[in-house]
């Protein structure tokens, strides 16, 4: 039942009266370190970090969880998420995670990677870790651009999209079309759960969290690779306000990168060939 706050509280109530356990509707996860995020206002990284940590907290697996951070904006992810971490070289996170998981088969290992890291320089490691069915989670943040180095073309940059290295828009004749790596890995036998989510609205945040939970559950049951893509914005790189960036993402990114589960319980639930 929805609460009408005005019925419970009046302007005369002191803050002490309001801030009480019985009135709690949301508690930030204890597994974010509290360090000030280094991300731009409006960026999705902070929300995705929080969702992962909420799931780790709810599953009670902090003491068994090891993260692998990428090269890119999330290079300092270990400053914000309160779990053991290994920093990986650019693109190598799935190989690094493979090494950790093979030695600690009963622990939870996840990588956190951007599109340049995962789908350009690290393509081989991504494909082969997925193909081997490594028992890890890959969290893949796709904002269609290299954020940290200043907005260059990524493998996921849309056709015609302007970036600092495609100042006249991405010319697919010359540079190839954007790479749908998530549809690609979904076709490999080693992936058990593949999903594409976004975190730009309250409702999509809730769905994204469910996908993260599902990914960790797949790892718990040792079913195979769990791969979750988050289509996200890069308002700084896109040269837009956060609101404009979210709107542009809905109008342009989502049609090319449609949201939803792609593979569930080891079975394709979408026609990925058509989506390619």
Contact footprint for another protein (CB under 8 A)? 61-66, 68, 75-76, 78, 82-89, 92, 95-100, 102-104, 107-108, 124-125, 128
Q: Which of residues 128 and 270 has its CB atom nearest to another protein in the complex?
A: 128
> For strand 145-146 and strand 137-142, is the pairing parallel, antiparallel, or unpaired?
unpaired
Q: Which of residues 87 and 244 has its CB atom nearest to another protein in the complex?
A: 87
Smallest separation (angstroms) from another protein to the CB of 76: 8
Q: Which of residues 66 and 186 has its CB atom nearest to another protein in the complex?
A: 66
Contacts of 263 (CB under 8 A, 6+ apart): 186, 191, 192, 193, 194, 195, 269, 270
Smallest separation (angstroms) from another protein to the CB of 90: 9
Smallest separation (angstroms) from another protein to the CB of 128: 4
Q: Which of residues 103 and 202 has its CB atom nearest to another protein in the complex?
A: 103
Q: Which of residues 56 and 211 has its CB atom nearest to another protein in the complex?
A: 56
Smallest separation (angstroms) from another protein to the CB of 64: 4
The dihedral of CA 131, 132, 134, 135: what is its sign?
positive
Q: Which of residues 68 and 228 has its CB atom nearest to another protein in the complex?
A: 68
What CA–CA distances, in Å, run from 214 to 35, 49, 167, 211, 253?
Answer: 27, 16, 39, 5, 24
Smallest separation (angstroms) from another protein to the CB of 37: 15
Burial of 19 (0-12, 13-18, 19+ CB in 10 A): exposed
How far apart are alpha carbons 81 and 46 in whole angstroms? 10
Nearest to 228, CA basis, from 52, 101, 106, 39: 52
Count CB neighbours of 37 within 10 A.
Answer: 16
Smallest separation (angstroms) from another protein to the CB of 33: 8
């Amino acid at each position: 039942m929805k609460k009408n706050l005005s019925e419970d509280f009046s302007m005369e109530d002191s803050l002490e009266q309001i801030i009480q356990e019985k009135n709690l509707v949301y508690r930030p996860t204890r597994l974010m370190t509290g360090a000030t995020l280094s991300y731009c206002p409006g960026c999705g990284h902070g929300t995705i970090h929080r969702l992962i940590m909420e799931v780790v907290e709810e599953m009670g697996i902090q003491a068994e969880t090891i993260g692998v951070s990428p090269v890119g904006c999330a290079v300092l992810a270990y400053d914000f998420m309160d779990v053991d971490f290994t920093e990986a070289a650019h693109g190598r996170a799935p190989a690094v995670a493979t090494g950790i998981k093979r030695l600690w088969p009963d622990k939870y290992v996840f990588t956190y990677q951007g599109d340049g890291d995962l789908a350009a320089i690290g393509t081989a490691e991504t494909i082969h870790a997925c193909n081997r069915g490594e028992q890890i989670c890959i969290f893949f943040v796709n904002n269609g651009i290299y954020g940290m180095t200043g907005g260059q073309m990524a493998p996921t940059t849309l056709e015609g999209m302007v970036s600092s290295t495609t100042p006249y828009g991405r010319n697919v004749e010359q540079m190839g079309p954007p790479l749908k790596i998530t549809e690609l890995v979904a076709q490999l036998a080693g992936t058990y759960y593949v999903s594409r989510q976004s975190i730009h609205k309250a409702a999509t945040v809730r769905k994204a969290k469910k996908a993260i939970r599902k990914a960790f559950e797949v790892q718990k049951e040792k079913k195979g690779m769990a791969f979750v893509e988050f289509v996200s914005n890069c308002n700084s790189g896109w040269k837009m306000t956060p609101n404009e960036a979210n709107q542009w993402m809905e109008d342009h990114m989502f049609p090319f990168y449609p949201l939803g589960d792609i593979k569930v319980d080891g079975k394709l639930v979408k026609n990925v060939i058509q989506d390619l």
